[in-house]
Structure 1
C-alpha cells in the first residue's frame, strides 16, 4: 500500500466550524495501530508531512490544517497555542482516540508542547522538529508584528502576495534558497495545496493576522513550565540551517544546547545537511523524523504492554528512504 493509497481527508467539528485533517491509515489497519498526531508550522499545512508519513506505514498519521491554515483557514480567531492545542484535543475526541504520540515541526512544536501541558494524559510522547524550544531573544521593544517580521521575513511577506497561476507559485518556491537543489514531488504537492482563490489572484491560505497572533505566543510566559512537563525521552531534532538555508539555523547550537541542558527529559539531536524546510522535505530529513517518531511510539507501546514483551512493532525494520 502506497502513501497515496493510505491517505484521505476529513473534517471534524471544533470551535467556530470544522477543522480539516489529512489522515494516513496504516497498511492492513485492524484498529489497533498507534496514532500519531503531526502538527505543521506557522504558514504550512498538513501536506508537509507526506514524506514522513510514507516512512511510517505501521501507524495512523493524523495531521490537521491548523486554525487559520490550509482548508481550515476560514476558522475564526482567537489563535494561539492553547487554542490550537484544544482544537487537537477535539480532533482526538472526534476520532475516539484516547492518547497519541505528537510530533510538531516549527510552530507545530510549540503546539505539541501546549497540547501536552493542557491535556497531559492524552500525550504520552512528544517529538519536536526544529521547534518548540524557546527562540533566541530578538531586539527589545518590538511590537508583535515587528517580531513576526524579524523571525519569518520573506515567509510573512509571501502571505500578502498574489499569483496568476499555480505554475507561478511553484516558480516562486523553486527560487527559494531553502529548496535549492531540493525540489521534489512532495514540495510541489505542498505548494499547490497552499493556494486559495482563483486565477489570476491566487494567494497563500494563511491570513497575516493568524501568523502575527501565533508568532507573538511563541514568546509566551507559558512555555518554560510546559517544557519542564514534557515526557522523559522527548527528542528534539535541530536543523543546522534556517528558513533561508542559512547557518546557524533557527536554533543556534549553543542556544539550543543551553535550553536542553537544564531539562534532562529532552534529548537534542542535529540532522546533518538539512534546513528548516528540508528536515521534512528530503529523504535524509524525513527519515530522521520518522526514526524519532518510530522510537517514541515504540517506547509508548512497550510501556503500555509492560517491559519484556516484544511486539511486531518493535522488531519491524524501517522502510528504505
Structure 2
C-alpha cells in the first residue's frame, strides 16, 4: 500500500495535518481516538473501493497537529471537522466516520452541520457513557485508558523501545500487524535517546474530561440525527477483554430508541482491532455501503 499524502488544511486559527489515503473522487472524513492519529485509519482506507479517498486529520494536540493551539474540547474538534468537510466537499456532502473519542466528535459535527455529510459511521463510540456523580474524572481516565495514557508522560531510548511498549499492550500485542506498527511509529517524535508520543497529555485530559461530562449533549445529538448512521461496536474493550467500551445495556438503550441508529456487533474484535485488525475489512464495507 502507498503511504498517505500529508496535507495541511485550513481550520479556525491555523491548519491541521491531514492524511489522505487513496485518490478517488468520493470523499470520506474520519476522526481518530483520544490518544491516536489519522494513521489509525490506514487499514480501513486500504479496504475501501478504489473510487474513495479517505482524509484522516490529526486532531489538535495529536500527531502532526500537536503544535496547534487550543482551546481543545469536543466542540472545537467538531468545528474543525465541519471546516474540513466544507473544504473537501466542494462538490457535495462527504462521508463521515469516527472511532472512540472520534465517534463523539463526528456525532457532534453531524448534528452541527448535517448538510455537510451524507452518512455517519460510529466505531466503538458515540453513545453517552454513564459516569457516577462526583467521580474524579482524571482517575476515570487513568483507569479507562491505561497504557495509552501512561505513555504520554514517558520518554523512550529508541524507536524500538516505543514499539515494544505497544507490543506489550494486551489489546494489540496478540494481534500485531503492519498497520499497528505503522500507526505506532507515526506517533513518535523527540530527540534521539528521548523519543516520545506526539500526543499532548494536556489535550488528551482536557478532551477526556469533556467527553465524560457531555452525556446530555450526545444524547441530544443522537435524538436529532438526520443523516444515515450506523454504530459498529466491539465485544472487548481497551485492554482486550471485557467489559467493552460500549456495554450491551448502553447499546440497547440508544439503538433501541432511535431508528436512525442501527448497530452491529463486530465479533472477534476489541476496541483497537476493530479498526487496526482484520475487522477493518468489515468497517470499510459497512462505511462504503451506508446510505446507499
In the superposition, the TM-score normalised over structure 1's length comes to 0.85
* Alignment partners' CA distance in 2, 1:95 and 1:249: 34
Q: 1:233 to 1:99 in 2, by over 3 A?
A: closer
User: How far did residue 19 of structure 1 move?
Assistant: 0.4
Does residue 10 (structure 1) correspond to residue 21 (structure 2)? The answer is no
State how far apart, in whole Å, the 2-side matches of 1:232 and 1:95 are. Answer: 18
Cα offsets for 1:9-37 (capped at 9, x unmatched): 110122332200001233xx4xxx22110
Unaligned 5+ runs, structure 1: 300-321
Shift, 1:95, TM fit: 3.2
Checking the alignment, whether the CA contact within 8 Å between 1:39 and 1:105 is kept in structure 2 is yes
Question: How far did 1:233 drift?
Answer: 4.1
Q: Secondary structure at the match of 1:177?
A: coil
The answer for the alignment partner of 2:240 in structure 1 is 245
Indicate which of 190, 193, 196 corresponds to 1:197: 190
Q: CA deviation at 1:248?
A: 2.8
Within 1, Cα distance between the matches of 2:61 and 2:97?
Answer: 20
Task: Determine the structure 2 residue equivalent to 1:111.
Answer: 105
1:133 aligns to what SS in structure 2? coil
Aligned equivalent of 1:185: 178
Matched, 1:94 2:87: yes
Contact 1:148 1:211 in 2 (8 A): no
Gaps of 5+ in 2: none
- CA RMSD after TM alignment: 1.6
Which residue number corresponds to residue 225 of structure 1? 220
What is the match of residue 118 of structure 2?
A: 124
1:63 partner SS: strand
Paired position in structure 1 for 2:259: 264
Matching residue within 114, 127, 144 for 1:151: 144
Question: In the alignment, which residue of structure 2 is the partner of 1:24?
Answer: 21
Q: Distance in 1 between matches of 2:81 and 2:248?
A: 31
Deviates most, 138-147 or 273-282: 138-147
Question: Shift in Å at residue 232 of structure 1?
Answer: 5.6
TM-score by length of 2: 0.94
Q: Does structure 1 residue 289 correspond to structure 2 residue 283?
A: yes
The separation in 2 between residues aligned to 1:148 and 1:290, in whole angstroms, is 29
Conserved 8 A contact 2:22-2:45: no
Please tell me whether Structure 1 or Structure 2 has the larger radius of gyration of its CA atoms: 1
Contact 1:126 1:231 (8 Å CA) reproduced:
no
2:171 counterpart SS class: helix
SS in 1 for 2:41: helix
Q: 8 Å contact 1:232–1:264 — kept in the other structure?
A: no
